[in-house]
Amino acid sequence: MTSRSTDPTVVRAAWIVPLASGGPADRRGQGGGPVASADLRIEAGKIAAVESARGNLGAGGVDLGQVVLLPGTVNAHTHLELSGLAGKIRYRGNFVTWLGEVTARRPTDAGAVSAAVRKGADASLAAGVTCVGDICYGNRAWRTLRDHPLRAVCFAECLGIGRKRHDALTRLGRDMEGMVEDDGLRIGISPHAPYSVAEQVYRGCLDLARASNWPMTTHLAETPDEGTFIRHGAGNLHRFLTMLGIVDDSVSATGLSAVAYAASVGLLAHPTLLAHVNYLDDEDLAMLAASRASVAYCPRSHRYFQHRGHRFVEMLAAGVNVCVGTDSLASSPTLSILDELRLLRRRHPELPGATLLAMGTINGARALGWDGQIGSLSPGKWADAVAVPLDADGPDDPIENVLRSDLAPMATIVGGHMAFRAGA
């Protein structure tokens, strides 16, 4: 991620919302609140300053006009390889059937995977997403994403339960061969879910993540079927895996909830990013609050699967780091985090706009272990930002203006590079 001669050195906007951590903001944005008529100064791809606009812009300056410049949004949970499945799979009320369909229609050859990942990455930039936590079966997405401006943690997916558990970590190691990190791409691992990953495989993944300092993510407490599988060693998922010849004597009832099972495996003693966590009781919530784990809530995917209400507001109140993901286009209408936040704004008028915006930016960066370098417009961090046009009929408050409008981003900047420009 090197800066280019055509990259702006100053970006001027009607409003800049730095969302830097700390207390309430003053008019200059100290503390992270909105700054009116402001400049984002960029040096070598990183933020040098956010300050009140002064004088004429030099040759390297870009005036975006009537826009709100926000930290680039972070999609903490997605599967870009499934971008070709947009609108193709209807949910008929059975998660196992849906899973079977996705598995059957997932792209297999390298060219098709790459095309789907590129399509999803381009759509992400156009939606104002500057960083994704992307999970890829077989770990092929990174070869496409390393040449794409979108920043990514590429999570190599690991599956192995029952008969498939013995060589799961060997397969993971093989899938990760040749993988290299750079400023725009980081390595992560993703043991898939408790119904597809044996306890010993989870522990092996944890050891790897700790030894290499890689972020780790897993799907957790996504469906009632998963809960039945874990607690009773039975149900739809159990039957499905038995039918596939995967279940053996090692797959048994634990008597635990999904969250308690995650704790027993060691996932909560690590900064694991837990995707979904749709089903949990009060005890589970307390366990999460006392843990180092983050939760990626995927609001529109949650709606698609007709799950009951998500407890993210209680999680936030309990101090859990809750971020936002879209999940894949097989269950979500777009890859836009702004769209997710706007849905949450409509459903939760009581929540402060800055809280919602944090869920879509800095909380996601924290969940991916990248908050030291992205997630807010703070000096020293990468200049990752999205410019959203001000809605002339919207509220005066710039955060509310963005959350209550349906206007698409005008520009997306990653590492100081103008990675997307509407109409360009």
CB of 133 to Zn ion, least distance (A): 10
- Residue 158 or 419: the one with the smaller Cβ distance to Zn ion is 158
Residues 68-107 that bind Zn ion (CB under 5 A): none
CB of 245 to Zn ion, least distance (A): 24
- Residue 18 or 120: the one with the smaller Cβ distance to Zn ion is 120
* Token pair listed for 14: 């009607």
CB of 396 to Zn ion, least distance (A): 38
Residue 200 has phi, psi (to 5 degrees) of -65, -30
Residue number of the CB atom closest to Zn ion:
327
CB environment 229-260: b (16+ within 10 A), e (fewer): bbbeeebbbbebbeeeebbeeebeebebbbbb
Q: In which order are the strands placed within the sheet that holds 73-78?
A: 73-78, 129-136, 151-158, 185-191
* Token pair listed for 258: 């999904």
Residues 315-334 that bind Zn ion (CB under 5 A): 327
CB of 219 to Zn ion, least distance (A): 6
CA dist 234 and 339 (Å) reads 37
Residues 19-48 that bind Zn ion (CB under 5 A): none
CB of 325 to Zn ion, least distance (A): 7
CB of 89 to Zn ion, least distance (A): 14
- Residue 134 or 327: the one with the smaller Cβ distance to Zn ion is 327
- Residue 137 or 261: the one with the smaller Cβ distance to Zn ion is 137
- Residue 276 or 417: the one with the smaller Cβ distance to Zn ion is 276
Helix 224-232 to helix 236-243 angle, to the nearest 10 degrees? Answer: 80
Q: Any idea what the Cα angle at residue 161 is, between residues 156 and 166, rounded to 5°?
A: 85
CB of 304 to Zn ion, least distance (A): 12
CA 2 to chain CA centroid, nearest Å: 24
CB of 313 to Zn ion, least distance (A): 22
- Residue 164 or 276: the one with the smaller Cβ distance to Zn ion is 276
Task: Indicate left, alpha or beta for 373 from its phi (over 0: left) and psi (-120 to 50: alpha).
Answer: alpha
Question: What SS3 class is residue 342?
Answer: helix
- Residue 62 or 153: the one with the smaller Cβ distance to Zn ion is 153
CA dist 222 and 255 (Å) reads 17
Contact between 71 and 52 (Cβ < 8 Å): no
* Token pair listed for 224: 């009632």
CB of 248 to Zn ion, least distance (A): 26
CA dist 402 and 395 (Å) reads 9
Residues 372-391 that bind Zn ion (CB under 5 A): none
CA dist 10 and 59 (Å) reads 9
- Residue 223 or 363: the one with the smaller Cβ distance to Zn ion is 223
Question: In sequence order, what are the beta bridge partners of 189?
Answer: 156, 216
CA dist 358 and 377 (Å) reads 12
- Residue 122 or 327: the one with the smaller Cβ distance to Zn ion is 327
Give how many residues touch Zn ion by CB under 5 A. Answer: 1
* Token pair listed for 172: 């993971």
CB of 198 to Zn ion, least distance (A): 19
- Residue 323 or 385: the one with the smaller Cβ distance to Zn ion is 323
CB environment 39-49: b (16+ within 10 A), e (fewer): bbbbeebbbbe
Residue ranges binding Zn ion (CB under 5 A):
327
